[in-house]
Amino acid sequence: MVYLTSAYNTWVVIASVLIAAFASYVALDLAKRVRGGQRSAALTWWVCGSLVMGTGIWSMHFVGMLAYSLPIALGYTKLLTAVSWLAGVGVSAIALAIAGSGTLTARRVVGGSLFMGGGICAMHYLGMAAIDLTVPIVWNPLLLSISVAIAVGASAAALVIFALLRHTDPEHEVRYQLAAAVVMGLAISGMHYTGMAAANFPTNTLCLSAHSLAGESLGTLVINLTLLLLSLTLSTSHLDVRRRLAISLQAANDKLQSANEELQKRALRDPLTGLPNRVLFEDRLALIAAHKARVQHGGVAADRKLAVLFVDLDAFKPVNDSYGHAAGDQLLVQVASRLRRAARGCDTVARLGGDEFVLLLDDLSSAEDGERLAQRILQTLTTPFQVLGHEVQISASIGIAIYPDHGDADTLLVHADAAMYAAKHAGKAGYSMFEPHMNADARERLSLQNDLRHAITLSQLALHYQPKIDGIHGQMIGVEALLRWRHPERGFISPAVFIPIAERSGLIKSIGDWVIEEAYQQMHAWARDGLRMSVAINLSPLQLREVELVTRIDQTLAKNHLDPSQLLCEITESVAMDDIQATQQVFDGLEQIGVFLSIDDFGTGYSSLSFLRQLPARQLKIDRGFVVDLETNADARAVVDAVIHLAHALDLRVVAEGVETEGQYDILRRLGCDEMQGYWFAPPMPANQLLEWVMKHQPASATRLPPAEPCVRTPLYVIDGEVLPA
């Protein structure tokens, strides 16, 4: 058969290839839009994208058809042209849906490219069918198959290119997208022109649709409209990217800002109570003080004061230990809110950590205003707290420092702390106004604390022993071990000075252990010399909280072959009262291993009778303060008399400490005091001197010292073989 000779308008061909590449570029762009962003936006992009991309591909095909000419006039039927356009849109919809869905698997690529290839072929050959011919086209099967293969291959390439494009870094994205678009444009055009080459028009054919869609002006119109549509879509797409970028940047910015605010809050606030922390407090203090300094420099409001109140809870740790940390935390939160309520709205209430709070009071007319607030705080704390079902009573010690009277912004807090320490020392549950000597005290404490750290290793600690005398027979019935620190420069330092420092710094634990060990070794040494000595040691509150205290005492006793009844543990009344639960536990534990217990400094800690009854103590030591006045003060006598009666009623032995005169001794004896201790009999002395003292003052007992006895668990004082009732 003879066929008509076909020809191409080169410029239109080039235009069709460019349109194909441009449409591909836009298609790749749209695929990204469908992929990212919100669901509704993706859906809109999918619909619009399918229309635009479909039009683009179709337009390439249509323009390519218009570039083709035969010796006969050609035209296209409207309906089939419209259907071929629809096929183009359909193909694009599938392509965008696949590209926009999850990961591109090999299966998806194969399935997708078959679908898309089919769609492109449908579009192309429907477009060809729009040429209404009298004699049908004769197809070259090979070229036809190649065109189908190119369509499927181009679709697969498009999908793979899109998948690869996703992993390209943004910097090179446009370049890759351009290259991909050119490849895809060429592939689509390749398919088209191969398809055209497969078509042979017999010479005797005529085109019935020559007067429908045809002509150069239609080609120009389609090209222009398509380019306009693609350009509009591309710029809209880019604008949308920018808008989304701006939104996500804004969102990221907002997030960053709120994260920053949160960080700042955390950096400046105490997370438990929400109060300002030390950093914020010190910052405010510095700011207000600087402002005050400036104002005062100008001579204005020079009389307005600034006060710092340092509030430290008394005996907070026992609450934590007894009821658990959750209870401790709740208590701190409640204390914080009471402090807030006690303060004025303009005051800063901060938590420094642990049970330490500080208040910054500005614009006070006098220092007394600060004291009044301290009183209010003490008052507000007197109401018991309800903590996890427990009723908790707590007090605080408060130190006050005033600006500018007591220092500048840098020293005010330190001075308020020193004043607080003085308040604690003065018996807790009170306040102290800063005085210059407190500062020196604080420095001294720090230097002593540093030296104390090495006191054990440098063998600067020693135990001195003070005899305890039986009130009726006047015989020594035991000793109290009292700690001494031989400071290389300051000489002997009283435990009344360094024990509180050791307690505050935690050093008391190792010191306490040393005392126990040293006392046992001495008892063992005396036992070897035939002196079976009862020794009392003083326990600190921190030792009472050591779980292993009882076991350690028991093991050390056994190691030194000592009878537990030879040991007496003294614990001050206020400590016993501070931490009733811990005291009770340790007392019970010690009683179980046969060690006696004694309440020291009785009369200073407001013990309740019922509490005393609960404790398995054997002995009660009347504080020296009552003994001092015995000879001169009838009230003191009445108190001591009452205490002795009370103690005896509770089956406790009474010891009077600090007996310095014969008069005191006589009165105490008459009042029925069981034991006495004081300079009148003997001062505390080193172990070797004590032995000499025993020989000299208690010769009868000293000469009759029996050899060391095997461990006998008896709840009685035993000395010199003589058994005394407990």
Q: What does the alpha-carbon distance between residue 445 and residue 269 come to, in Å, rounded to a whole number? A: 30
Q: What is the DSSP letter of 202?
A: B
Candidates 117-125, 268-276, 306-314, 655-663; binding stretch for Mg ion (CB under 5 A): 655-663
Q: Which residue has the tokens 């989304």?
A: 244
Site residues (CB under 6 A) for ligand C2E, limited to 195-224: none
Q: What does the alpha-carbon distance between residue 401 and residue 361 come to, in Å, rounded to a whole number? A: 10
Candidates 398-406, 434-442, 535-543, 584-592; binding stretch for ligand C2E (CB under 6 A): 535-543
Q: Which of 1, 2, 300, 496 binds ligand C2E (CB under 6 A)?
A: 496
Residue 619 interacting partner from ligand C2E, Mg ion, none (CB closer than 5 to 8 Å by kind): none
Q: What does the alpha-carbon distance between residue 699 and residue 476 come to, in Å, rounded to a whole number? A: 11
Contacts 24+ apart (CB under 8 A), 9-15: 9/66, 9/67, 9/69, 10/67, 12/63, 12/64, 12/66, 12/67, 12/219, 13/64, 13/67, 13/193, 15/63, 15/67, 15/223
> What binding mask, one character per residue, do residues 601-640 give for ligand C2E by CB under 6 A, x or -?
x----------------------x----------------
Least distance (Å) from ligand C2E to the CB of residue 399?
24
Least distance (Å) from ligand C2E to the CB of residue 608?
21
Both tokens assigned to 155 = 């679709």
Least distance (Å) from ligand C2E to the CB of residue 527?
21
Candidates 58-66, 270-278, 493-501, 560-568; binding stretch for ligand C2E (CB under 6 A): 493-501
Of 570, 601, 562, 304, nearest to 427 by C-alpha is: 601
Site residues (CB under 6 A) for ligand C2E, limited to 468-487: 482-483
Q: What does the alpha-carbon distance between residue 655 and residue 479 come to, in Å, rounded to a whole number? A: 12
CA distances from 188 to 16, 193, 196 (A): 10, 9, 12
Least distance (Å) from Mg ion to the CB of residue 574?
11
Q: What does the alpha-carbon distance between residue 60 and residue 532 come to, in Å, rounded to a whole number? A: 117
Q: Which residue has the tokens 């409207």?
A: 78
Q: Which of 282, 355, 563, 600 binds Mg ion (CB under 5 A)?
A: 600
For residue 645, the surrounding DSSP H or E stretch is helix 634-649
Least distance (Å) from Mg ion to the CB of residue 482?
7
Contacts 24+ apart (CB under 8 A), 622-628: 622/654, 622/655, 622/656, 622/657, 622/673, 623/657, 623/658, 624/657, 624/658, 624/678, 627/656, 627/657, 627/658, 627/659, 627/660, 627/664, 627/668, 627/678, 628/658, 628/660
Of 567, 454, 553, 463, nearest to 505 by C-alpha is: 454
199, β-bridge pairs: 139
Report the 10 Å Cβ neighbour count for 612. 19
Residue 658 interacting partner from Mg ion, ligand C2E, none (CB closer than 5 to 8 Å by kind): ligand C2E
Name the residue nearer to Mg ion (CB basis): 209 or 466.
466
309, β-bridge pairs: 359, 400
Least distance (Å) from Mg ion to the CB of residue 538?
4
349, β-bridge pairs: 359
Residue 492 interacting partner from Mg ion, ligand C2E, none (CB closer than 5 to 8 Å by kind): none
Candidates 139-147, 299-307, 589-597, 600-608; binding stretch for Mg ion (CB under 5 A): 600-608
> What binding mask, one character per residue, do residues 100-139 give for ligand C2E by CB under 6 A, x or -?
----------------------------------------
As a dihedral over the C-alpha atoms of residue 50, residue 53, residue 58, residue 61, rounded to 10 degrees, the angle is -150
Least distance (Å) from ligand C2E to the CB of residue 389?
34
601 belongs to the binding site for Mg ion (CB under 5 A): yes
Q: Which of 314, 600, 674, 720 binds ligand C2E (CB under 6 A)?
A: 600
Q: What does the alpha-carbon distance between residue 168 and residue 36 come to, in Å, rounded to a whole number? A: 15
Of 439, 470, 53, 459, nearest to 233 by C-alpha is: 53
> What binding mask, one character per residue, do residues 674-703 give for ligand C2E by CB under 6 A, x or -?
---xxx----x-------------------
Number of residues binding to Mg ion, judged by CB under 5 A? 5
Name the residue nearer to ligand C2E (CB basis): 611 or 680.
680
Residue 483 interacting partner from Mg ion, ligand C2E, none (CB closer than 5 to 8 Å by kind): ligand C2E
The total number of residues shown for the chain amounts to 726
Least distance (Å) from ligand C2E to the CB of residue 450?
20
675 belongs to the binding site for Mg ion (CB under 5 A): no
Q: Which of 314, 355, 371, 570 binds Mg ion (CB under 5 A)?
A: 570
Candidates 163-171, 429-437, 489-497, 646-654; binding stretch for ligand C2E (CB under 6 A): 489-497
CB 16 within 8 A of CB 60: yes
Q: What does the alpha-carbon distance between residue 437 and residue 723 come to, in Å, rounded to a whole number? A: 51
CB 27 within 8 A of CB 51: no
For residue 461, the surrounding DSSP H or E stretch is strand 461-470
Q: Which of 153, 495, 530, 589 binds ligand C2E (CB under 6 A)?
A: 495
> What binding mask, one character per residue, do residues 13-42 give for ligand C2E by CB under 6 A, x or -?
------------------------------
Q: Measured on CA atoms in the order 197, 198, 199, 203, is the torsion positive or negative? A: positive
Number of residues binding to ligand C2E, judged by CB under 6 A? 24
Name the residue nearer to ligand C2E (CB basis): 236 or 661.
661
Residue 654 interacting partner from Mg ion, ligand C2E, none (CB closer than 5 to 8 Å by kind): none
Give 650-674 as a DSSP string.
TT-EEEEE---SHHHHHHHHHHT--
Name the residue nearer to ligand C2E (CB basis): 330 or 466.
466
Name the residue nearer to ligand C2E (CB basis): 309 or 535.
535
Site residues (CB under 5 A) for Mg ion, limited to 37-56: none
Residue 499 interacting partner from Mg ion, ligand C2E, none (CB closer than 5 to 8 Å by kind): ligand C2E
538 belongs to the binding site for ligand C2E (CB under 6 A): yes
Indicate the residue whose CB is closest to Mg ion. Answer: 570
Q: Which of 226, 538, 556, 607 binds Mg ion (CB under 5 A)?
A: 538
Candidates 93-101, 109-117, 530-538, 542-550; binding stretch for Mg ion (CB under 5 A): 530-538
Q: Which of 54, 56, 478, 658 binds ligand C2E (CB under 6 A)?
A: 658
Site residues (CB under 6 A) for ligand C2E, limited to 511-530: 515
CB 360 within 8 A of CB 347: yes
Q: Which of 147, 540, 619, 701 binds ligand C2E (CB under 6 A)?
A: 540
Residue 494 interacting partner from Mg ion, ligand C2E, none (CB closer than 5 to 8 Å by kind): ligand C2E
390, β-bridge pairs: 387
Candidates 25-33, 64-72, 152-160, 655-663; binding stretch for ligand C2E (CB under 6 A): 655-663
Q: What is the DSSP letter of 708?
A: P
Terminal C-alpha separation, the chain? 139
Chain residues that interact with ligand C2E, rule: CB under 6 A? 466, 482-483, 494-496, 499, 515, 538-540, 570, 572, 600-601, 624, 657-660, 677-679, 684
Chain residues that interact with Mg ion, rule: CB under 5 A? 538, 570, 600-601, 657
